Amino acid sequence: MSKSGLLLELYSNLSTTGALTFSSKTLVKKMLEHVEFEGAKLIIELGGGDGSITRGIVDKLDPGTELLVFEISKSFCSTMEKLFPQENVRIINDSAENIGKYINGQQADYVLSSLPFSFFAPEVRNNILSQSKTALTQNGRFVQICYSYMLKNLFKKHFGEVDTSFTLKNLPPAFVMVCR
């Protein structure tokens, strides 16, 4: 899909993408600073979108690490399947509420998310966060990109400890919240 097609998909589904533009390289780098790729067995990405975060993950991914990318847009999934044909990368066209169906009893070292939690109904938010926490190893981390600091309280309800950083080098400026 062309860049203009990706942008059309982004704007056509603003309630599920929750973004005005795709994540900047600076924001992706800031998010991935919180990931120890060496030795990770399973990483889950929620909201693959155009693949900008996925690209950052794949570029650092150990060959033995599996990456599951959840995306509800069929168009975005089709594009990402072409961009990421690696055997250890699975693009899943399903809601993040269904993580448990795809991990086959494994636990993830990281769940990386750019989902627009502000736009979701409370039960959807809670289902996704509950599934994410259950999917993580005991020392696993949930890393979320978001545009509202107010979401920190939501994440604290599920994870207890939330560290926050901020970058101006994204449109709009964004927070990265690391939850344990």
Q: What is the CATH number of domain 3-179?
A: 3.40.50.150
Asked whether 31 and 112 are in contact (CB, 8 A), the reply is: yes
Asked whether 132 and 110 are in contact (CB, 8 A), the reply is: no
Mean pLDDT (the chain, rounded): 90
Q: Is the confidence at residue 17, as pLDDT, over 70?
A: no
pLDDT band at 84 (very low <50, low <70, confident <90, very high): very high
Q: Is the confidence at residue 15, as pLDDT, over 70?
A: no
Q: Is the confidence at residue 1, as pLDDT, over 80?
A: no
| Residue spans per domain, the chain | 3-179
- Name the residue type at position 151: L
Q: Where are the beta strands (DSSP E) in the chain?
A: 42-46, 66-70, 89-92, 108-113, 136-146, 162-167, 174-179
Q: What pLDDT, on a 0 to 100 scale, did the predictor assign at position 14?
A: 43
Specify the higher pLDDT residue, 20 or 48. Answer: 48
Specify the higher pLDDT residue, 70 or 5. Answer: 70
Reading across the β-sheet that carries 42-46, which strands appear in turn?
89-92, 66-70, 42-46, 108-113, 136-146, 174-179, 162-167
Which has the closest alpha carbon to 128: 29, 10, 120? 120
Which has the closest alpha carbon to 114: 39, 35, 36, 52? 52
pLDDT band at 20 (very low <50, low <70, confident <90, very high): low
pTM summary value: 0.89
Q: Is the confidence at residue 18, as pLDDT, over 50?
A: no
